[in-house]
Structure 1
Amino acid sequence: MPPILTTDRLTLRPMKMDDWPSYEQLMLSDRSRFMGGPFTRFNAWGLFCQDVAQWHLMDHGALMIDDSQTGECLGQVGINHGPLFPEHELGWFVYAHAEGRGIAFEAASAFRDWARNQRRLPGLVSYMDPENERSACLAKRLGATLDNDAPRPDPQDIVYRHFGG
Structure 2
Amino acid sequence: MIPTLTTDRLTLRPFAMGDFPAYAAFLASDEAVYMDGPHGEETAWGWFCHDTASWHLQGYGSLMIEDRATGAALGHVGIHRPPSFPEVEMGWVLYPAGRGRGAATEAAAALRDHVTADADLPGLVSYVDPRNTASIRLAQRLGAVRDDDAATPGGAPTLVFRHPLPQRTA
TM-score w.r.t. length of structure 2 = 0.92
Post-superposition offset of 1:120: 3.2
Counterpart of 1:12 in structure 2 is 12
Using the TM superposition, give the Cα deviation of residue 121 of structure 1 relative to its aligned residue in structure 2, in angstroms. 2.0
Match in the other structure for 2:107: 107
Q: Secondary structure at the match of 1:78?
A: strand
> 2:102 matched to 1:131?
no
Q: Matches of 1:116 and 1:98 in 2, distance apart?
A: 25
Match of residue 66 from structure 1 = 66
**Per-residue deviation, residues 97-155 of structure 1 (Å, max 9, x unmatched):** 11101000000011111122122323210001111111001100110000011111136
Amino acid at match of 2:4: I
Unaligned runs of 5+ residues in structure 2 are: 166-170
SS at structure 2 position matched to 1:86: coil
2:77 maps to amino acid:
V
Number of residues paired by the alignment? Answer: 164
Does the CA contact (< 8 Å) of 1:11 and 1:65 recur in 2? yes
Aligned-pair Cα RMSD in Å: 1.2
| Structure 1 contact 116–122 (Cα < 8 Å) conserved | no
More strand, by proportion: 1
Which amino acid in the other structure matches residue 29 of structure 1? Answer: S
Normalized against structure 1, the TM-score is what?
A: 0.95
Corresponding residue SS for 2:78 = strand
**Residue 84 of structure 1, CA deviation:** 1.7
% same residue: 52
Task: Report the counterpart of residue 157 of structure 1 in structure 2.
Answer: 158
Kindly report structure 1 stretches of 4+ aligned residues shifted beyond 6 Å: none
Corresponding residue SS for 1:163: coil
Counterpart contact for 1:55–1:61, Cα < 8 Å: yes
- How many angstroms apart in 2 are the aligned matches of 1:106 and 1:99? 12
Is residue 64–residue 75 contact of structure 2 (8 Å, CA) maintained in 1?
A: yes
Letter in 1 for 2:8: D
The residue number in structure 1 matching 2:54 is: 54
In structure 2, the residue matched to 1:37 is 37
User: What are structure 1's unaligned runs of at least 5 residues?
Assistant: none
CA contact 2:54–2:61 (8 Å) conserved in 1: yes
Task: State how far apart, in whole Å, the 1-side matches of 2:108 and 2:44 are.
Answer: 22
